[in-house]
Amino acid sequence: MASVRLKIQVGDNKSNNNSYRQSVPPPPPLKFVFHFVTSPSNTIADLIYFLERHITEKYSYKNVKIIQLVTDDGYLLSNDDYCLGLLKDNDRIICYDMNKFIEDNYLTLDLENLWLEIKQHDASDNFEKSIQVGLNNLGKLFIRMYGTSTIRGLYMFSIYELIKIANRKEQNNSIARLNDKNWFIEAKWEYDSISEASLFLLCNFKIGSNEHIRSNKLHLLLDE
């Protein structure tokens, strides 16, 4: 076991205003010092999990999703790498979070030819909530969720990642769930018990001003 003192920054000082139509200015970066007690088996993916939990509990952030960790000089840290020996005291780590991921990828989404869409105005907070599924301009499946200006998500999968998901049939089939008080937006996988070239995407959707839960299922036929 070893203790590492890390300087963490969540969010970016720079924003590409042309890449995402933001209704509100992005929040300033969150900066804090994080003491991480690591074992030989801890990976960067474990560190991401601990950071998400710490940010949620200490700073009252909701639906925190860190996509990638990046060193101060711009090098990506692989989620499979072990922390021990890779990180040292006072390393400055940038968290590539969901807001930045959405900003960088928004213009790649084909929102005119959606495969699935559920959307509805929520009178409880005056936001139109939605879940949209389609392909981006690189042929990746995207799942875009919008609850409020601060609770939103974007999840993208290549055909190879989808085939791997269909083959593994992992028990944890959740992709994402955004929620606050009486509303939620959820996406999860359902597996084909016969074929490994087939996958189902189940979307569940409920607004705060209505008790009805809307659901839709998309059948994905996978072909390399």
Q: pLDDT, tens digit, for every residue of 58-109?
A: 998 876 889 999 999 989 898 889 999 899 999 999 999 888 899 989 999 9
The tokens for 142 are: 């995207």
Same domain, 15 and 72: yes
Closest by Cα among 13, 9, 15, 11 to 103: 15
- Whole-model pTM: value is 0.78
Same domain, 120 and 215: yes
> Domain of 54: which CATH number?
3.10.20.90
Q: What is the C-alpha to C-alpha distance for residues 11 and 97, in angstroms, rounded to an integer? A: 6
Residue 17 has pLDDT above 60, yes or no: no
Same domain, 86 and 116: no
> Domain end: 82, 103, 124, which one?
103
Same domain, 73 and 150: no
- Tell me which residue range forms the domain holding 9: 2-103
Identify the pLDDT of residue 150. Answer: 86
Same domain, 97 and 9: yes
> Domain end: 103, 127, 150, which one?
103
Residues ≥6 apart with Cβ < 8 Å to 177: 184, 185, 186, 187
Same domain, 115 and 63: no
Residue 15 has pLDDT above 70, yes or no: no
Q: Based on the structure, what is the number of domains in the chain?
A: 2
